Chains A and B, each alone.
Chain A
Amino acid sequence: MSIRDQLSGLTETEEGRRRQSIGALDRETIAGYVWALPYLAAFVVFLLWPLFKGLWMSAHDWNPLLPSESEWIGIQNYVELMSDPFFWNALWNTIYFVILTVPAMVVLSLALALGVNRNVKGKTALRTIYFSPYVLTIAVVAIVWLEFLSTDFGPINYYLDLLFGIRIEWLTSELFAMPSLAITTVWWLLGFNFIILLAARQNVPGRLYEAARLDGASSWRQFRDITLPQMRNALLFVVIIQFIYQFQVFGQPYVMTGGGPSESTRTIVYYLYQSAFNQQSYGYAAAIGYILFAILVGISLVNYYVIGGNNE
């Protein structure tokens, strides 16, 4: 075989190899798309598309029966929202609910997590008990607490009456309705935070405490200088996720109070739900959704910088 032949043979195989590798690349690209397709289809149709359609709807006086007849009104829905007393009432109610639930939930779940992390008996059982309400639907939780807090028949009022001679209108007075929903919520969701914080506490290296003890650090200083900083990321996550989650509260007032008494427990998502599905104001409800979105993004950023920046 001449050199020339060999050379041409070489180029041929190289070319062939290159062609093959282009083919392989194409095949991999095609395979990549094919494997991604089922999820992407659901993602685009049921998540992305509604996101943009919602913005479009919020700029219309949306006609649910004849969408094509909907009138373009620009930012009119948003303008109207700003002067809607029901919207502001729902916003303040929601903020009040968040203030009642989030700090209580984080502090209590941290206390339980640090407690269970110690050398206590029955760790596994305790963990199961605290975590268990989390697997219940809000419908069950709300119905059970409806009876638990019942003014005339519930056990809480029965014992209050027995001990102090008082009965509290837990769900039917403006003063107690929202705190009652908050108590219910803390019972329901505490376990989620507890699990995350317990895992975070167990990941703190024991030698840090050992060293601190040799230095004679008090348990308060160990908590402040080791436990809290070491658990910072988990605490940040729990706070942010609970802010976002509690801001979207719906089932508790829907089942337990119907938003009452005197709309004192009507929250933003409840108002959104009623605007859309009771009053058929789809465009208006879509605008509420976007305001909610803006608020939640704001909360996440503030939380991130306030809590996240604390120990830098």
Chain B
Amino acid sequence: MSDAQPEKSITDRVPRSVDELTSNLTLESVAVHAFLYGAAAVFLLPYLYMTTLSFQPRSTAIDGVPYWIPPEFTLEHYQFLFENSLIIDWTINTFIIAGGATVLILIADSMIAYSLSRLDWPGQGVILGIIVASFMVPYYLNIVPLFTIIADLGLVNSYWGVVLPAVASPLGVFLLYQFFKDIPDEYEEAARLDGFSNFQIYTRIILPLARPILTALALFMFVFNWNAFLWPLVVLQDNASFTLPIGLVSLLNAQIYRPGRTMAAALIASIPLLLVFLVLQRYLVRAVEMQGVTE
């Protein structure tokens, strides 16, 4: 993405005449930059406000003046959260749920994608069709019956109750199937002549070739499951079993209005993801772009 096609950027950059050169550099260019950077500022202000509030004592947070730099600096909200709330438990829960779901999704999705794209068996077309059609099913249609099933299985309040339904998502199957079926047969034929088993072809040929798309899918699923809101809200009913998003909202029910404390919790809940995002952004961008291309 960042390395845009040179052909285009060159033609876009070469002005046709002196007139166009000056107009491009002055009015239009200034307007475009103002628009883009103005929008960027609007996008950044909520982050700044959240951070500033989280480091302010309650007295300055509710004195009616919004500060963009804390007038008085304090760590009391963070200290309170770590000492008197379950935020550490919530963080651990969120890591286990998001991480566990991601690992299971990668294994299950890549296995069935291998089966659908590289193996030949009767009925696979029908099964692929059903999985693709299930994209049409809105997620929320299922929550009531799904909850009764989870309850019957005794999985309410458990990690599994959140993780297992996440594995049923068809998105990864479809993305991986698209990629796997385009891998040339020659690799596989050569491997079969060398006596490779399915498992060896899968682990030594398919998975290594698919590493970029697997990384993108993993990152997308980790973020998605870290952030999931409604389903964990339904399944996790005990304070200690909450994920960060659910625990965060439970903090709003406090008797006294303390915006600093909820902002500190919000920051703790976002920082791992924002860091992952900054480092691995291109994979996440790739995952989003792929969704745009496949539909």
Contacts of A152 in B (CB 8 A): 62, 64
* Chain B, 22-65, CB within 8 A of any chain A CB: 32-33, 35-37, 39-40, 42-46, 49-50, 53, 61-62, 64-65
- Nearest CB on B from A20, distance (A): 14
How many residues of chain B are within 8 Å of chain A by beta carbon? 104
Stretch from A1-9, A10-18, A116-124, A168-176 contacting the other chain: A116-124
Stretch from B71-79, B165-173, B183-191 contacting the other chain: B165-173
Cβ–Cβ contact A46 & B245, under 8 A: no
- Nearest CB on A from B129, distance (A): 13
Cβ–Cβ contact B144 & A285, under 8 A: yes
- Nearest CB on B from A35, distance (A): 4
Cβ–Cβ contact B147 & A137, under 8 A: no
Q: Known contacts A39-B109, A139-B249: does B115 contact A50 (CB below 8 Å)?
A: no
- Nearest CB on B from A197, distance (A): 8
Closest residue of B by beta carbon distance from A188: B46
B254 within 8 A of A: no
B178 within 8 A of A: no
Cβ–Cβ contact A282 & B140, under 8 A: no
Contacts of B53 in A (CB 8 A): 147
A79 within 8 A of B: no
B193 within 8 A of A: no
- Nearest CB on A from B67, distance (A): 9
Residue in B7, B12, B42, B43 whose CB lies within 8 Å of A132: B43
Q: Known contacts A43-B131, A153-B259: does B295 contact A210 (CB below 8 Å)?
A: no
A87 within 8 A of B: no
Residue in B140, B223, B259, B293 whose CB lies within 8 Å of A269: B140
* Chain A, 210-244, CB within 8 A of any chain B CB: 210, 213, 234, 237-238, 240-241, 244
Chain B contact residues: helix, strand, loop or mixed: helix
Cβ–Cβ contact A206 & B12, under 8 A: yes
Cβ–Cβ contact B288 & A192, under 8 A: yes
- Nearest CB on B from A110, distance (A): 13
Cβ–Cβ contact A202 & B44, under 8 A: no
Chain A contact residues: helix, strand, loop or mixed: helix
Residue in A39, A119, A136 whose CB lies within 8 Å of B111: A39
A238 to B292 Cα, complex, angstroms: 8
Contacts of B65 in A (CB 8 A): 158
* Chain B, 94-144, CB within 8 A of any chain A CB: 107-109, 111-112, 114-116, 119-122, 124, 127, 130-131, 134, 136-144
Q: Known contacts A50-B142, A195-B289: does B270 contact A140 (CB below 8 Å)?
A: yes
Residue in A25, A35, A145, A251 whose CB lies within 8 Å of B114: A35
B236 within 8 A of A: no
Cβ–Cβ contact A250 & B140, under 8 A: yes
A293 within 8 A of B: yes
Closest residue of A by beta carbon distance from B265: A143
Q: What are 26 sample pairs from A and B whose C-beta atoms fall under 8 A apart?
A: A39-B108, A45-B168, A46-B149, A46-B165, A47-B168, A48-B134, A51-B142, A54-B144, A57-B144, A57-B145, A119-B13, A130-B43, A137-B226, A137-B228, A145-B46, A147-B50, A150-B259, A154-B66, A213-B16, A241-B291, A241-B295, A244-B138, A272-B144, A277-B234, A290-B141, A300-B136
- What residues of chain B have their CB less than 8 Å away from a CB belonging to chain A? 1-2, 4-5, 7-9, 11-13, 16, 32-33, 35-37, 39-40, 42-46, 49-50, 53, 61-62, 64-66, 107-109, 111-112, 114-116, 119-122, 124, 127, 130-131, 134, 136-149, 164-165, 167-168, 170, 173, 198, 202, 223, 226-230, 234, 244-246, 248-249, 252, 259, 262-263, 265-266, 269-270, 273-274, 276-278, 281, 284-285, 288-289, 291-293, 295
User: A187-B43, A272-B144 known; 12 other A-B pairs, CB under 8 Å?
Assistant: A28-B119, A32-B115, A38-B111, A47-B170, A120-B36, A126-B36, A133-B46, A237-B295, A282-B148, A286-B145, A289-B141, A293-B138
